[in-house]
Amino acid sequence: MEIIPSVNCPDISCVRERFEQIVSFGASWAHVDVSNGTFAPPVTWNNPHELISNSKLNIEVHLMVQEPEKFVPDWVQAGARRIILQVEMIDRERLYEILEMVHADCEVGLSVSLPTPIEEVFPYLEEIHFVQCLAVSPGLSGQKFQHDTLDKIRVLLREDVDVLVEIDGGVTPDVARLAYEAGARVAVSSSYIFTSSDPKLAYARLSAIGE
C-alpha cells in the first residue's frame, strides 16, 4: 500500500516544516488539503507558488472547495501531480473543463464524502484516474475512521475492478490493513503520523501494510 502523509496547515511555515519531515521519512508524495471554508469548515494554506515548484516531493492536492476550477490552474502551474476534486462540487461539464486545464502528467481524481453514495462517481470512472473515499467528515484532522467506508470501496471495485482507490481519514495501521483488504491501494494519513512520538516510525509502520 502506498502511504501519503497529509499536510493540513494554516500557513506556509507549517507547510515547510511538514514537507521537511515527509522528505526525511523517505516518502516521495505529500498530500495537501486545501479548504477555504466553502465546502469544509477550516481555512487552510492555499498559495502553491510559495513552495510547490521548489519541493522535492510529488504533490497531491485535495481541493475541498466550491468552484474548484478557479483553483486548479495555480496548482497545475506550480507542479502538482495529482488533483483531487469533490464529486459533490462537479458535474460533467465542469469536470471536462478541469481536465483540459491539466497537463499530461497530472492526474485527476474524485473524492466522495461520507454521506455521498459511492455511485455518484460511477458516471466519471472512464474520465478520471482514481477515486478517494473519505472516511471522515472533510477538513478536520484527528477524526475517527468510519467503517462504512470499507463497504463503499467494495461496491466501487465491483463496478470497476481496475480503479485505483485511495482512503483518507482516521488511517492507522489497523485501518490501513482493513482498507487494503477491501481493495484500497493508497492511504492518506495525517494525525497518526504527525502526532506520533516518532513520526518516521509511524510512517514506516503504515508503509509495511501489504508487503
**pLDDT tens per residue across span 100-159:** 999 888 999 999 998 999 999 999 999 999 999 999 766 566 668 889 999 999 999 999
Q: In CATH, which superfamily holds the domain spanning 2-207?
A: Aldolase class I (3.20.20.70)
CB-based contacts of 49, cutoff 8 Å, min separation 6: 74, 77, 78
Q: What is the largest CA-CA distance in the chain?
A: 46
Nearest-angstrom CA–CA distance, 204 and 60 = 20
Domain extent listing, the chain: 2-207
CA atoms within 13 A on the CB side of 161: 0
- pTM, two decimals, is 0.93
Q: Are 180 and 208 in contact (CB under 8 A)?
A: no
For 45-88, the pLDDT digits (tens) are 888 888 766 678 999 999 999 899 999 999 998 889 999 999 99
